[in-house]
A and B are shown apart, each in its own frame.
Chain A
Amino acid sequence: MDYVSPFDDRAREVHALAGRPAALEGRRVALLDITKARGDEFLDRVEALLRSRGAQTFRIAKEAFSRPASTDVIEEVAIHGDLAVEGLAD
């Protein structure tokens, strides 16, 4: 029996995950704050740990936690960072 599917069944391009870095020394890590309450505290801790392992860090924030990151934010992470950490949820 044929049915009309409610799904968008078109094949999507699958992107492989980037390889895990062997070391953090000298790597630039973007710390993306989605602007939810206390996300900054979580990123503060992560930032201290990353720096203690020789990583360079920079902070960036989404405009609103309830919306996808803007292209500008994504580009800044991609251009200036080798790695990214996102502080998600509450």
Chain B
Amino acid sequence: MESAALTVTPLAGGADELRALARSRPLLLVFAHRDCPTSALALRHLRAAGSAEPELVIVAEEPPQEAARLMLRAGLRAPVLAQEAPFAASSELGVEAVPTAVLLDPGGAERERLVGWDRAGYERLLGVPLPADGPDRKPGCGSRAVEPPQAGGLDEPEDMFERGFTDGLPVVPPTPERVDAMLAGRDPDRSLGRVPPSHGEATLSRVAACAVLAGCRPEYFPAVLAAVEAVLEPSFNAHGIGVTTQPAGVVAIVNGPARERLGLNSGMGALGPGSRPNLTIGRALRLVLTLTGGARPGGLDRSTLASPLRVGLCLAEAEERSPWEPLHVERGMAAEQSAVTVLAADAPLSVSDHRSRSPEELADVLAQAAGATWSPYWWPMDDETLIVLCPEHVDTFAAGGWSKQRVRHAIFDAACRPAASLRRGEATEHVYAAADDEPVHKWTDPGRILLMVAGGEAGRYSAVFGPCDGMGTSAITREITWTT
């Protein structure tokens, strides 16, 4: 296998094969393995060896993939031979500890040997100075030829990072047992479709692996599946959301009986930390997009700043705290159905308002906050904005007898300015073409405003999730089904 300038070659034979490599030039063979801190110390220092003669060749007592990781972890670019059990070359050369350096003459005769870390010895053999940090000498560890690897020696969390099975946070390793538990009898090869931008096939086993990695319990998996199905709808435009320079996060909103069944938080701190299903379902969805779909930050994901929302977010609606029909019912589901609605959005903007006493005032405050989202002079937007109303704000609307539709229209009407006041910076062609006093709304249509209820009982803080303008993305709602 190859990674950048790193080439790992399996070592099929024993000592004769190593001696043959030294036929025309001197070689410094360094035996090492990844469970040995002294090996790691030596390999890190040997980065300074460069193209010195004798040529440096690492003999890793590891399979090729582990040998590559050993080198990547040390940041050392040198030829690597991957030697697997029964470690014939180590045995035949009498290598009982690692690191061991064996200097071979042209022709393959051994001239000198160092056991353990010995900075001055390596400097003498290589003829170059090595970094002065760390100890001058350090004893090594048992060679795999005399001391087979112990079970449990693997640092699993680090192993996950090295495999790239992460969004940057530690993960739960997706062992076959954990993935099977997540699948709960579902067909692992069934596909939900190809995930843009790399078009990785979202088989249930890969989605389950992402759910395990994210820390989901198996009972959350139906919600993860529904969310993945939703983002794979073409009108969600997972391609654009995945590769854009926008911050573009995905919000997953759960409605219906699933909220209680999964223990989702719709109350205090619903947008933040503290609740395992909220955090892990959203994260699992993001991992499917990032790992299976290939939207890797800094790779195909070109988000300029991104936002914490891009790690993933799931929340439930506080339906019992709302005087109105819940979001999923508005979107065509029955109240007793469980559903997840996914929406591409900017990070939430908190709106504090502890002073409004009338629905009109409060609608205006929310409208002015929403007016600043995406870009303050970009009116009208043809994309969806999510407003999460906290219970105390909802009470203000309910006390005035306002319907959800009336709230939506009041916010729409209050976010309206004359075209002339919007001609600055990033402004639309619409406002440049309009007469100076022509009223322009923030949205093309009141239907672009999605309203839901969540949050703690105390505190008048609602939140506005601005849109991913220009992405041509739409919120998608999918039923959560419990059958396998």
Report which A residues bind B (CB closer than 8 A).
1-8, 10, 64-68, 89-90
B208 at the interface (CB under 8 A from A): yes
Docked-complex contact B472 and A8, CB < 8 angstroms: no
Given A65-B470, A66-B244: A4 in contact with B201 (beta carbons within 8 A): no
Closest chain A residue, CB of each to CB of B293: A8
Docked-complex contact A3 and B210, CB < 8 angstroms: no
Smallest Cβ distance from A45 to chain B, in angstroms? 22
- Which residues of B lie under 8 Å from residue A2 when comparing CB positions? 175-176
Docked-complex contact B175 and A7, CB < 8 angstroms: no
Tell me the complex Cα distance, A53–B433, Å: 38
Stretch at the interface among B25-33, B77-85, B284-292: B284-292
- Number of residues from B at the complex interface, CB < 8 A: 36
Docked-complex contact A7 and B292, CB < 8 angstroms: yes
Beta-carbon contacts under 8 Å, B441-458 to A: none
Interface string of B196-214 (1 = CB under 8 A from A): 1011110001101110110
Q: How many A-B residue pairs have CB under 8 A?
A: 69
Give the interface SS of chain A, mostly helix, strand, loop or mixed.
loop
Determine which of B154, B196, B210 lies in contact with A1 in the assembled complex, contact meaning CB atoms within 8 Å.
B154
Beta-carbon contacts under 8 Å, B139-189 to A: 154, 156, 159, 163-165, 173-176, 179
Of B156, B174, B287, most A-chain CB atoms within 10 Å: B174
Tell me the complex Cα distance, A76–B202, Å: 31
Smallest Cβ distance from A3 to chain B, in angstroms? 5
List 5 contacting pairs A-B, 8 Å CB cutoff, sorted by A.
A1-B154, A3-B173, A3-B176, A7-B200, A67-B239
Q: A1-B154, A3-B173, A7-B291 known; 17 other A-B pairs, CB under 8 Å?
A: A1-B156, A1-B159, A3-B163, A3-B174, A3-B175, A3-B209, A4-B176, A4-B179, A4-B212, A5-B174, A6-B174, A6-B287, A7-B200, A7-B292, A65-B470, A66-B472, A89-B245
Of A1, A4, A10, A64, most B-chain CB atoms within 10 Å: A4
- Which residues of A lie under 8 Å from residue B239 when comparing CB positions? 66-68
- Which residues of B lie under 8 Å from residue A3 when comparing CB positions? 163, 165, 173-176, 209
Smallest Cβ distance from A59 to chain B, in angstroms? 20
Docked-complex contact A6 and B209, CB < 8 angstroms: yes
Docked-complex contact A6 and B245, CB < 8 angstroms: no
Given A66-B237, A66-B470: A5 in contact with B173 (beta carbons within 8 A): no
- Which residues of B lie under 8 Å from residue A5 when comparing CB positions? 163, 165, 174, 206, 209
B471 at the interface (CB under 8 A from A): yes
B267 at the interface (CB under 8 A from A): no
B240 at the interface (CB under 8 A from A): yes
Determine which of A1, A4, A65 lies in contact with B209 in the assembled complex, contact meaning CB atoms within 8 Å.
A4
Given A64-B472, A67-B240, A68-B239: A4 in contact with B198 (beta carbons within 8 A): no
Tell me the complex Cα distance, A5–B165, Å: 8
The 5 A-B pairs with the shortest beta carbon distances in the complex, nearest first, are A66-B240, A8-B200, A6-B291, A4-B179, A4-B209
- Which residues of A lie under 8 Å from residue B472 when comparing CB positions? 64, 66-67
Closest chain B residue, CB of each to CB of A65: B470
Beta-carbon contacts under 8 Å, B274-300 to A: 287-288, 291-292
Tell me the complex Cα distance, A68–B240, Å: 8
Tell me the complex Cα distance, A67–B472, Å: 9
Smallest Cβ distance from B249 to chain A, in angstroms? 16
- Which residues of B lie under 8 Å from residue A6 when comparing CB positions? 165, 174, 206, 209-210, 213, 287-288, 291-292
Interface string of B442-484 (1 = CB under 8 A from A): 0000000000000000000000000000111100000000000
Tell me the complex Cα distance, A79–B471, Å: 29
Given A6-B292, A7-B292, A89-B245: A67 in contact with B173 (beta carbons within 8 A): no
